[in-house]
Amino acid sequence: MTDPSYKLRILGLRKTYGPVVALAGADVDMHEGEFLTLLGPSGSGKTTMLMLIAGLIQPEHGEVWIDGRLSTYMPPHKRDLGMVFQNYALFPHMTVYENIAFPLRMRKVSEAAIRDEVRRVLDVVQLAGIEARHPRQLSGGQQQRIALARCMVYRPPIILMDEPLGALDKKLREQLQLEIRRLHRDQGITVLYVTHDQEEALVMSDRICLMDKGEIVQLDTPDGLYFRPESVFAADFLGESNLLDATVRRIEAEVVHLEGPGGVPIEAPARDGLSEGMAVKFMIRPESVRLLEGTESADNTLEAALQDVILVGQVTKHYALLAGGTEVSATSLTHHRLPRFTQGDPVRFGFDRQSTVVLPVSGPTPAA
């Protein structure tokens, strides 16, 4: 049995296409009202997971529990789920009205009730008055909203969304992100969302499930994923990061001492799975790196030769090379009193022990 407080739960779900492992035994739980995002590069198995949950394809192993009921092989029409497809999948031969009415007709709702429901849901997505048009006559943003309306009209308690904003331009995407969040909050729906856009995932989600090559890499809150990545992949995929090679020298209760590039000592919070002499990487976000002035000191410091200073609006980025040729970057708020540098100037970068993350290296890497 499974804990009924989970709205949606998958256990060891696996799907292969010939030699391709599309999803390699995934476990995910979702609470009622949660907004969980599957994030990962293209081909990482996100769509596959959604389709398995929706029952549109059948798994080889594993279980799907919806609302505390085992549903692994139930046909899609027997699951109370809504799904928004990657390119909306609006029926081109039907009007907006007919599109939205479709799920209700399949549920044998009376035509009078259908009329009311369609009107209601069009109000919710703020598109009243376009019932008679065909999908082709709508803009991308409008099509997206209709797809959402068609999915919400029968009030499924769980909605799966496969890159619903992928085809829109940035501005519209940001606007619709907010709208989807608002709908999610107001209607109390449980949402399983898919995107390959890390920023979108960070903005929208309660939790993020990071995926790669059919496997779940890390399932965590946006905060946890950003500041406490558990693998090089996670650190690299989400946000900008400086990833540097190091070797473990000494492990204490709270602190692990590393030997960084060029023999620099580096301190970081201790974590499991480390042993002395082990080759690791450590990650530091550019915004956690400061330029040290004069005799200013920090928990960890790196000396480098400045290569470039780029002003990107609100922030300024400094790029510098360590002695071994590794690039390190630091991002700080743009400030008119920032000291001016010329290329090749020696700089000192400093960062806190607490914002340094040690990561195990997967696979063999040359020692630093």
> Considering only 4-12, 92-100, 199-207, 343-351, which stretch makes contact with another protein by CB under 8 A?
92-100
Please identify, using beta-carbon distances, which residue of 43 and 157 lies nearer to ligand ADP: 43
Q: What's the closest the beta carbon of residue 40 comes to ligand ADP, in angstroms?
A: 6
Residues 181, 191: Cα–Cα separation, whole Å: 10
Residue 89's binding partner, choosing from ligand ADP, another protein, Mg ion, none, with beta-carbon cut-off 5 to 8 A by kind? Answer: another protein
User: Token pair of 90, please?
Assistant: 């609006």
Side-by-side strand order, sheet with 327-333: 290-291, 346-351, 300-312, 315-322, 327-333
Give the whole-angstrom CA distance, residue 37 versus residue 206.
Answer: 8
Q: Quick one: which of 2, 20, 41, 107 contacts another protein (CB under 8 A)? A: 107
Nearer to ligand ADP, 17 or 252 (CB): 17
Contact between 129 and another protein per CB under 8 A:
no
Between 86 and 316, CB nearer to Mg ion? 86
- Please report how close the Cβ of residue 17 comes to another protein at its closest, in angstroms: 9
338 binds, among ligand ADP, another protein, Mg ion, none (CB under 5 to 8 A by kind): none
Exactly one of 26, 29, 30, 47 binds Mg ion (CB under 5 A); which one?
47
Kindly identify the residues of this chain, within the stretch 80-99, that bind Mg ion according to CB under 5 A.
none
> In whole angstroms, what is the distance from residue 181 CA to residue 193 CA?
11
Distance from first CA to last CA of the chain, Å, rounded? 49
Does position 69 bind another protein by CB under 8 A? Answer: yes
Find out whether 60 and 16 touch, Cβ atoms under 8 Å: yes
Q: Beta strands of the chain (E only): which ranges? A: 6-17, 20-31, 35-39, 61-66, 69-70, 81-84, 158-162, 190-195, 207-212, 215-220, 242-251, 255-259, 265-269, 279-284, 290-291, 300-312, 315-322, 327-333, 346-351, 357-360
Among residues 17 and 171, whose Cβ is nearest to ligand ADP? Answer: 17
- Which secondary structure element, helix H or strand E, spans residue 233, and what is its range? helix 232-237
Residues that bind ligand ADP (CB under 6 A): 17, 20, 22, 40, 42-48
Q: Is 61 in the site for another protein (CB under 8 A)?
A: no
Handedness of CA 269, 357, 363, 324 (dihedral sign): negative
Instruction: Provide the binding-site residues for another protein, judged by CB under 8 A.
Output: 51, 54-56, 58, 69-78, 81-83, 85-87, 89, 91-93, 95, 102-103, 106-107, 133-134, 136-137, 150-151, 154
